[in-house]
Amino acid sequence: MDVVNLKNPELYINRELSLLEFNRRVIDQAKDEEVPLLERLRFLCIASTNLDEYFEIRVAGIRQQVKYGSTQWGPDNIAPQELLGRISSLAHSLVEEQYRVLNEVVQPALVRERIRVLRRSEWTPGTARWVRNYFNQNVLPVLSPIGLDPAHPFPRVLNKNLYFIVSLDGKDAFGRETRLAIVQAPRSLPRVVHVPAVQGGGPHDFVLLSAIIHAHVGDLFPGMKATGCYQFKVTRDSDLLVDDEEVDDLLRALQGELPSRRFSDAVRLEVADNCPDDLSQFLLQKFGLENRDLYKVNGPVNLNRLLAIYELVKRPELFYPPFTPDLPPRLQKEENIFDVLRNGDILLHHPFQSFAPVIDFLRTAAADPDVLSIKQTLYRTGNDSAIVDPLKDAARAGKEVTVVVELRARFDEEQNIELANELQEAGAHVVYGVVGYKTHAKMILVVRREGRRLRRYAHLGTGNYHTRTTRQYTDYSLLTCDKAMVEDVNRMFHQLTGLGRAGRLKKLLQSPFTFYKGILGNIETEMQNALSGRDARIIAKMNALVDADIIQALYRASQAGVKIDLIIRGICCLRPGIRGVSENIQVRSIVGRFLEHSRVFYFLNGGEELLFCSSADWMPRNLHHRVEACFPIDEKRPREQIIEFGLKNYLADNTQAWVLQGDGGYRRLRAGSHKPRSAQRALLEHYCNFYQ
């Protein structure tokens, strides 16, 4: 067999382009007639939010590389300047498709259900009168139009806020000939306004704030004529530039940096598609952008704000049916959670199984007089009192409470700063992890006095301690008092809060130390087994596969004959199906009702199966620049449960699965003559008696 250069750039898909392809799969959900109508609208809004964040972080980072002449290209060897052009081309096609689906698919379907977003041409005289009254009472008093002249330079435009550029004719009260003005849509006002049925004609009629302002923008310029009014929105670089090795107090540094996020460098300009070219060029010039950064859209520039309709319309038949998460039989009895765990581990598969036992674990620990200490990592919690209140209660009760709060959880920095302050005020010890490494591991450790001894209990998870996302994301939780496992968790906490070495871990794999080597070692074992004629198998489920070394190891394993199935929701830089390299690798992405978020790694290991769950994806940042925990599933029943329902079930999906092709595109699977199977639906049926 010819020797293949596994570092050949043609064997790698660019991570940024792969991430954009994920948004294509999200948009496709909005076209799927099997998805309830208002959920289809929600998928469109999710895609819009995803694109905002993509430009704020990913595109902004590439622009920085171009600005400073970076030569650190990825394994695909695409230069940053070329990459910006390819991103622009693909993103423009995605945005065009997004608005086409909105205008030609979703909105007509909403109209058929008597849910209407009324254009100004559709307003009845009664609607127009109601809108004018709403404008005069609620909008006009808080608008501050800014005419552009030497005394009124172009204003600072907030990140992702809705604005209007208005062309004017005539003179103002001081005799000035102002040709242009900028009007900001107040952030305090709803972007979607419900019109009373007696005025609009239907039970669910809405007008957009943009339409209300547009209809009455002339009132802002008495004595002048508004000859044009056009929406625009600017997306800015939102990555916080804090060198945590150069600051004495990370919390204060972040507090000082957060306000600048609103006015950092622009990376994208969105305008209404009827905006004249001269005004579009004027705006591009003001924001220092190029033509490729301009996106003309046939609809609201802040499309994600249509999510308000999803929240305002109370039509159960247009949503996914509600379900009641399962509770494992061992937890259905009125027993103390610690008594249950002494008889064996508890594995939970969220959202199909309830997150309540994790909250109960914390609450019980906080209230139990025999519990001496609680330690927990917090990455994203939102305003989640169910998680935070037990920690504060425990601290106030005199227990030793230590919380590792990751202040640099992107877009949650402000909430995490508030959370850290609340916990400190309650008497908890709060630390911010390790300088230079984000703490992404999801762990709780409880120390309890039982007779003459102390016993530790732990929770380890693949997802965040955020009760809202536990209803929307698929994740695993393990509750355990396994002696070696809890000792490893204790050592990891000592490592995070202290300055010494944690010592060798017995069971856990940990980034940035043993996780990377452990994964490569297990891949190597499968390759050697295949070369010696033994059965070899790898199944890995994660959010992203980016690391070039792991991809090369998978290529070598494939060449040796290892059968490899990868279930990767988002970014995948590996090219499957390449002759002589990856014929034995298949990659699929599942996109459905729930966001696939769990990380599970299976190795046949010569028949002695190894199974791990983790907080980490196979990305350089998770492997080398974060504190992550990867924990084995040792007990037979939980291991079988994950293999059957968390892996094989997903490999059997033929309705919500997309298969990655060698060219980087995805093909959606269709059941055809086979029985339709959805992995998420099967899990709802199994755990929740749903659909049965």
543 and 489 in a common domain: no
140 lies in some domain: yes
73 and 57 in a common domain: yes
Higher pLDDT, 255 or 613: 613
Q: What is the separation, in whole angstroms, between the first and last Cα of the chain?
A: 52
277 and 218 in a common domain: yes
Note the pLDDT of residue 262: 53
DSSP string of 45-95?
A: HHHHHHHHHIIIIIIHHHHHHHHTT-----TT---HHHHHHHHHHHHHHHH
In this model, does residue 247 exceed pLDDT 60? no
496 and 578 in a common domain: no
For residue range 415-459, what is the model confidence (pLDDT) as tens digits? 767 888 888 999 999 888 777 888 999 999 999 999 999 999 999
SS3 content of the chain, % helix, strand, coil (to 5): 40, 25, 35
Domain boundary among 456, 472, 504: 504
In this model, does residue 122 exceed pLDDT 50? yes
In the structure, what pLDDT confidence band is assigned to residue 229 with cuts at 50, 70 and 90? very high
Q: What is the mean pLDDT of residues 208-226?
A: 93
What backbone torsions phi and psi does residue 570 show, to the nearest 5 degrees?
A: -115, -105
Structure tokens at 601: 């790694």
487 and 372 in a common domain: yes
Task: Give the total number of structural domains in the chain.
Answer: 3
Note the pLDDT of residue 248: 42
Note the pLDDT of residue 152: 72
548 and 411 in a common domain: no
Higher pLDDT, 433 or 275: 275
4 lies in some domain: no
Note the pLDDT of residue 432: 82
In the chain, what percentage of residues exceed pLDDT 70? 92
Note the pLDDT of residue 174: 63
Domain boundary among 504, 525, 546: 504
447 and 381 in a common domain: yes
Note the pLDDT of residue 383: 65
Note the pLDDT of residue 384: 64
5 lies in some domain: no
Note the pLDDT of residue 151: 63
125 and 166 in a common domain: yes
User: Lowest-pLDDT range, 302-311, 494-503, 620-629?
Assistant: 494-503
In this model, does residue 261 exceed pLDDT 70? no
Mean pLDDT comparison of 178-182, 208-212, 435-439, highest-scoring range: 208-212
Q: What is the H or E stretch that residue 504 is in?
A: none
CATH code, 252:
3.30.1840.10
Note the pLDDT of residue 69: 83
46 lies in some domain: yes
* Inter-residue contact 423 to 403 (CB < 8 Å): yes
For residue range 528-587, what is the model confidence (pLDDT) as tens digits? 999 999 999 999 999 999 999 999 999 999 999 999 999 999 999 999 999 999 999 999
614 lies in some domain: yes
Domain that holds residue 307: 13-318
Quote the CA–CA distance of 472 and 330 in Å, as a whole number.
24
In this model, does residue 1 exceed pLDDT 50? no
* Inter-residue contact 392 to 470 (CB < 8 Å): no
152 is catalytic: no
What backbone torsions phi and psi does residue 367 show, to the nearest 5 degrees?
A: -90, -15
Tell me the average pLDDT of the chain: 91
Quote the CA–CA distance of 443 and 260 in Å, as a whole number.
32
Place of tokens 């990370």: 250
481 and 432 in a common domain: yes
Note the pLDDT of residue 502: 61
Mean pLDDT comparison of 72-86, 197-211, 277-291, highest-scoring range: 277-291
In this model, does residue 252 exceed pLDDT 50? no
455 and 352 in a common domain: yes
Catalytic residue, candidates 440, 459, 466, 597: 440
CATH code, 516:
3.30.870.10
